[in-house]
Amino acid sequence: MTEDKPAAAPLSRRRVLQTGVALSGSALLLAACGPSAPAAPTSAPAAPTSAPPKPAATTAAPAAQATAAPAAAAAGGAPLQGQTVKALFVGDPFAQASQKIIADLNKQSGGNIQMQVVDFDSMHQKILLDAPSASPAFDVYSWEFSWLGEMVGAKALRPLDDFVQRDAAMLNVDDIPKANWDATVWEGKRYGIPVQPHAELTWWRTDLLDAAGLKPPTNTDELLAAAKALHKPDQGQYGFLWKGARGAPLGQTMVHAFAAFDQPAFPNWQKGDWMPALNTDKAVQATDWVKQMAQYAPPDYLTIAWDDEARRFAEGEAAMTFTWFGRVSFFEDPTKSKIVGKYAAGPWPAAPGLPPRNSFGGWVLGLPAQIPADRLDAAWKFLLWYTSAPVEKMLIDNGNIDYPRVSLIKDPTLQQQHPVFKTVLDLVDKNSFQGWIRAPVPEFVALADNLGTNMQDMLTGGMSPKAACDKCQEDMIATLKKSGKIA
């Protein structure tokens, strides 16, 4: 298996829970009526580690260029110096942590940070609506790794190469995990800085595996056997907690399952060949494995999405699950978790004989393509400062458990507080995170919906694995023909 093999990944169709939150000074002002709960956190997807293909257009010329004067030091000083920055953030842990410590962030930045926090789907939609404006409402966007091709094609993001080159020393690129940093490039231009990268891992209950005399599963066969052995529904214990909700939740699981069997969704997209590969023998094998695994899931697994999966695993409902690293706070909180100290994690298993590989996803910060010149400098200074190791450490301490900086996952104190950091560090050191699994193709949303819809029909008995794969291939080809990617 080579690392330059691309694939695709899922994305969206979450409930629109839009919670507008304006954070000004030390006050938390609700832009919408109701309690101050942020939009429900989401998880999702990633991008490739090499230069992408030709389909997406480059962004329009930005309104202004980086000036000669360098930004304020990321780790010190007050970079905003009284200026206001308006950010549009998704309701994931990094934004929730920021809400907790907004007074400290404003004090340290020396400015006025105003954030609107929205759910996953609204984040995607709002960028596409706001970016074309000659004067965007926001100075900074959070965007998901796997949206990159679409966002560049929509001329939504400003290339950051001039700023990155100017402030390379303060940015300290060597401290950013390489796969994450590489995944912010499209057609040779860089569009963001990772703020909350995380990985979907395999999680298991150490106490249950030990009691059954089982070792942690290392491949798909072992995972299936362990799920069967630990499935005790009459005792309220399920073998595997599966993310089966229609659309993106199941769709992203299918992309990962295809990768476990060495099948990218788009094998040659980096060469400009957009023909999907959703009904190969490997894809059918992966789909059949998913169908077998589903036997050991809770009866309502077809309604389970990202946060439900993590919450229910924390409540002790299942022996194993796949869930995102950024959700580990669900497991660590003794007031909400029944599994504190009773779980461990590892990479997604591969089919027997194949090396394990892991996708990654999460969030990146970027600037609107048309940001006015008088707002550009403050926006970049905020982005540079907010993604620095000291600020990321503050966010981790307040619930944003991820791996934005290598120095942080190597921190002995943080490793003691969050043992999973050692697991993630090992995966980083081994270069196990593969961008090809969740390639940021412009049709990413359509791919996720396609897989998550047809595969759920298969799981409810409507189709065989082969028929479901054929339907996915047929639907994806129709989508790509409509967009002009294939004839």
Residue-wise DSSP of 264-333: -SSTTGGGT-----SSSHHHHHHHHHHHHHGGGS-TTGGG--HHHHHHHHHTT-BSEEEEEGGGHHHHH-
Report the C-alpha gap between 268 and 472 in whole angstroms. Answer: 18
**Spatial CB neighbours of 1, under 8 Å, sequence gap ≥ 6:** 262, 354, 355, 357
The whole-model pTM stands at: 0.80
159 DSSP 8-state letter: -
Whole-number pLDDT of residue 65: 58
Report the C-alpha gap between 172 and 44 in whole angstroms. Answer: 26
Whole-number pLDDT of residue 49: 35
Residue/partner pairs of 338-344 with CB below 8 Å, 24 or more apart? 338/314, 339/205, 339/313, 339/314, 342/205, 342/206, 342/207, 343/203, 343/204, 343/205, 343/206, 344/203, 344/204, 344/206, 344/216, 344/419, 344/423
Report the C-alpha gap between 27 and 236 in whole angstroms. Answer: 44
* Cβ-based burial of 10 (10 A; exposed 0-12, middle 13-18, buried ≥19): buried
Please provide the distance, in angstroms rounded to a whole number, between the alpha carbons at the two ends of the chain.
30
Architecture of the CATH domain 200-357+443-482: 3-Layer(aba) Sandwich (3.40)
Cβ(76)–Cβ(98) under 8 Å? no
* Cβ-based burial of 334 (10 A; exposed 0-12, middle 13-18, buried ≥19): exposed
The structure tokens 């270069």 sit at 431
Assigned CATH class of 21-198+361-436: alpha beta
Query: Chain-centre distance of CA 128, in angstroms?
Result: 19
Cβ(283)–Cβ(257) under 8 Å? no
**Spatial CB neighbours of 399, under 8 Å, sequence gap ≥ 6:** 93, 96, 97, 100, 329
Report the C-alpha gap between 389 and 197 in whole angstroms. Answer: 14
Whole-number pLDDT of residue 158: 98
Whole-number pLDDT of residue 12: 33
Residue 170 identity (one-letter amino acid): M
Whole-number pLDDT of residue 16: 30
Report the C-alpha gap between 85 and 435 in whole angstroms. Answer: 31
Cβ(459)–Cβ(30) under 8 Å? no
Count CB-CB contacts under 10 A for residue 370. Answer: 20
Report the C-alpha gap between 303 and 244 in whole angstroms. Answer: 6
pLDDT tens, per residue, the chain with 487 residues: 333 343 333 333 333 333 333 333 333 332 333 333 333 333 333 333 333 333 333 334 444 555 544 444 444 578 999 999 999 999 999 999 999 999 999 999 999 999 999 998 899 999 999 998 999 999 999 999 989 999 999 999 999 999 999 999 999 999 999 999 999 999 999 999 999 998 899 999 999 999 999 999 999 999 999 999 999 999 999 999 999 999 989 998 999 999 999 999 999 988 888 899 999 999 999 999 999 999 999 999 999 998 899 999 999 999 999 998 888 888 998 999 999 999 999 999 999 999 888 888 899 999 999 999 999 999 999 999 999 999 999 999 999 999 999 999 999 999 999 999 999 999 999 888 888 888 787 887 889 899 999 999 999 988 999 999 999 999 999 999 998 888 8
Whether 21-198+361-436 shares its CATH topology with 200-357+443-482 is answered yes
* Cβ-based burial of 301 (10 A; exposed 0-12, middle 13-18, buried ≥19): buried
Whole-number pLDDT of residue 60: 40
| Structural domain spans, the chain | 21-198+361-436, 200-357+443-482
